[in-house]
Chain A
Amino acid sequence: MARLDLVDLAHAYNGGTTHADLVLKPTSMTWRQGGAYALLGPSGCGKTTLLNIISGIVRPSRGKVLFDGKDVSALTTQQRNIAQVFQFPVIYDTMTVGENLAFPLKNRGLPRAEIEKRVSEIARLLDLEAYLGRRASRLSADAKQKISLGRGLVRADVAAILFDEPLTVIDPALKWELRSKLKTLHRALDLTMIYVTHDQTEALTFADTVVVMHEGSVVQTGTPEELFARPEHTFVGYFIGSPGMNIVAGEVRGREAKIAGHTLALKRSYDSLPAGANIEIGIRPEFVSIAPPRPDLLSAHLERIDDLGRTRFARVRVDGLKLAAAIPPGLTPDGEEVGLTFDPAQIHVYADSRRIEGAA
């Protein structure tokens, strides 16, 4: 159990040093002891690289990794007291479930009685007791993944448990179950857990802090609520939420924004926007509603309706811009022309993809 600090970490697989070579751009961050973190981002954004640097599988080109303030950058995976669960279950085919769980302890030369105690304890936590004597290779994928996890948990001294998209090969029905199991374990064991995924549902349900990565950089770190309510980067707005945030080009002057010739009132004032920056306006579909057309509303052309069961979203077009908007309950759009209403408090202004905080 430990606090993890990443100090000015960067990595390039090809040994290069230019910005383009770096798959992980210079990053500094702190992972609190006992936190449940998710590293969220699309494939190829560097999240697995970051994870492998923490576990020691990858040696970073630059920067340091600290466990409780102690520099472990030069230590091997073995010396770091890290547990890692991989995308595909890793089990030792010829061993029973019990032997699999005991393997990390046996390798470290613990006394037999101690090993048995730990193994039965972990098997109880993971509901694997009934399988302890069975050959591990004959179990289902989710049980195998539990064994992989168990081999991490069985060690009393792990600093953190890292998950690299651990639910990829698990049946959708069992995913939810395993995820809540992880959550329970996290509460029970007070372990630092870092969970890499490209699935926002997985990240948002598992973690109390979500770290969103994009093209090798961390673009925002925050609670699921923060990511939803105040995306600091257009990528976060677009990547989190479904449908993702509407991000459209516009002009902003003071307390007014102009989209497709229509002026919207803003809650905050944006007086000193960087000159020459690419200004975009972002608003989540949940805070845009369609209404019957009115002269004072931005008029839009309705293209289709996505019925998600509890909510419905309209896909509309305003000139060349495509937007998603909520359909208020009870409203049945009549014809193809609709008006759009915006919640001014939920409109965000982005300059070169970064959110600008307006003045009150």
Chain B
Amino acid sequence: MEKIANQKAWFLVLPVFAVVAFSAVIPLMTVVNYSVQDTFGNNKFFWNGVGWYQELLSPSTELGGRFLASLWRNLIFSAVVLAIEIPLGIVVALAMPRQGRGVAFSLVVLALPLLIPWNVVGTIWQIFGRSDIGLLGYVLNRLGFDYNYVAYPIDAWATIIVMDVWHWSSLVALLCYAGLKSIPEAFYQAASIDGASRWAVFTAIQLPKMQRVLLIAGLLRFMDSFMIYTEPFVVTGGGPGNSTTFISIELVKLALGQFDLGKAAAMSLVYELIILIICWVFYTVMTNAGQERRIEREAA
């Protein structure tokens, strides 16, 4: 039978093309367009080639210095947040009840911070930490600590990190809890018969079985913390000085504050590229881990 060539079928995918074009491709291309030109408004453009990119990546220029400094802040922030939230999430998940009425209660309590809008979280901590009226700030100062997140970079960082831990550790805990719940009871019984200590049960059974959810939790938390904007913007506005200015905040200052659209476009593309690369690495690691398991299963 002869195959019927029906070119009308292209019309069926047209809506998708249109949506993707308007939602992703065209805006992205606009940004690319800006990133290779300089503009002073009035729709006047001057060709700049890869000039912005060169500036961005060289620490000696003003733009490069700002970008690299904020990139470092982002990386340090993500590392600290992950180093606290992952172990904390595991500990919380281990401490949660496995059955009974406590399960529903603890799940609801853990889910609460996740349901609060980001800017509200920022506002809560902004007020909570104020040394004049905030409960935390006031109490700390009364206890003799000179705590002031508006004045001291260390205090600002501590506030933002504690806020992020408060906001997001629940997510890690819930994922770990799901991983723990999927372990059959026989494993614990066998371990108890084998005379395993609590620590041995954790390292030999629970941790290996949580490996996958931990990878997902790590990925989600890394991406989110790397793209953080709202909460530090509300609490510190990037200050004191530039001490809590992350890339996203820098970007907004550049694009909306200084109206340096070319620089901002170049920076956002590099920012996006970094996120994409890290995403890809995570994705590859995760699917490889899955693949390994599948091969093991097939061999079995």
Contact = CB atoms under 8 A, between A and B. Distances in A.
Interface in B187-222: 187, 189-190, 192-197, 200, 204-205, 208-209
B235 to A, nearest CB: 41
Interface in A85-140: 86-88, 90, 92-95, 103-104, 107-108, 137-140
Interface stretch (A76-84, A250-258, A299-307): A76-84
Given A90-B186, A104-B193, 15 more contacts: A55-B189, A57-B189, A76-B192, A78-B192, A83-B193, A84-B190, A88-B186, A90-B190, A95-B204, A103-B196, A104-B195, A138-B296, A138-B299, A140-B299, A148-B190
Contact of B187 (A90, A94, A139, A151): A90
A141 interface: yes
Interface in A11-40: none
Interface of B: 184, 186-187, 189-190, 192-197, 200, 204-205, 208-209, 295-296, 299-300
Q: For chain A, give the interface size range.
A: 20 to 34
A107 B190 CA distance: 13
Nearest to B204: A92
A84 B192 CA distance: 10
A94 B200 CA distance: 12
A107 B186 contact: no
Contact of B190 (A86, A95, A137, A139): A86
A94 B204 contact: yes
Contacts of A138: 295-296, 299-300
A90 B208 CA distance: 13
Contacts, number: 62
A187 to B, nearest CB: 24
Contacts of B190: 84, 86, 90, 148, 151
Given A93-B209, A108-B195, A87 B186 contact: yes
Centre residue among B186, B196, B208 by max chain A CB count within 10 A: B186
Interface in A51-68: 55, 57
Contacts of B208: 92-94
A157 to B, nearest CB: 11
A144 B300 CA distance: 9
A215 to B, nearest CB: 24
Contacts of B204: 92, 94-95, 103
Nearest to A140: B300
Contacts of A78: 192-193, 195
A104 B196 CA distance: 7
B299 A77 contact: no
A98 to B, nearest CB: 14
Contacts of A104: 193-195
A103 B194 contact: yes
B98 to A, nearest CB: 15
A82 B193 contact: yes
Contacts of A92: 204-205, 208
Contacts of B194: 103-104, 107, 151
Contacts of B209: 93
A95 B184 CA distance: 18
Which of B184, B195, B200, B299 is most buried by chain A, counting CB atoms within 10 A of its CB? B195
Which of B194, B209, B295 is the most central at the interface, judged by chain A CB atoms within 10 Å of its CB? B194
Contacts of A148: 190
A94 B196 CA distance: 15
A86 B192 contact: no
A95 B200 CA distance: 12
A137 B187 contact: no
21 contacts: A55-B189, A76-B192, A77-B192, A78-B192, A86-B186, A86-B189, A87-B186, A90-B190, A92-B205, A92-B208, A94-B204, A103-B200, A104-B193, A104-B194, A104-B195, A107-B196, A108-B195, A138-B295, A138-B300, A144-B300, A152-B193
Which interface residue of A93, A139, A144, A152 has the most chain B CB atoms within 10 A?
A93
Nearest to A154: B194
Contacts of A76: 192
Contacts of B300: 138-141, 144
A16 to B, nearest CB: 19
A122 to B, nearest CB: 14
Contact of B195 (A86, A88, A107, A139): A107
Contact of A77 (B186, B193, B295): B193
Contacts of B295: 138
B184 A88 contact: yes
Contacts of B197: 107
A55 B205 CA distance: 21
Nearest to B293: A137
Max chain A CB contacts within 10 Å: which of B190, B197, B205, B296? B190
A357 B34 CA distance: 101
Nearest to B189: A57
Contacts of A84: 189-190, 193
B191 to A, nearest CB: 8
B289 to A, nearest CB: 12
Contacts of A103: 194, 196, 200, 204
A94 B206 CA distance: 11
A340 B194 CA distance: 57
Nearest to B192: A77
A345 to B, nearest CB: 47
Contacts of A83: 193
A92 B204 CA distance: 6
Contacts of B184: 88, 90
A128 B293 CA distance: 22
Contacts of A107: 194-197, 200
A139 B208 CA distance: 17
- 7 tightest Cβ-Cβ pairs between the two chains A and B: A90-B190, A107-B195, A104-B194, A86-B186, A92-B204, A93-B208, A138-B296
B300 to A, nearest CB: 5
A77 B189 contact: yes
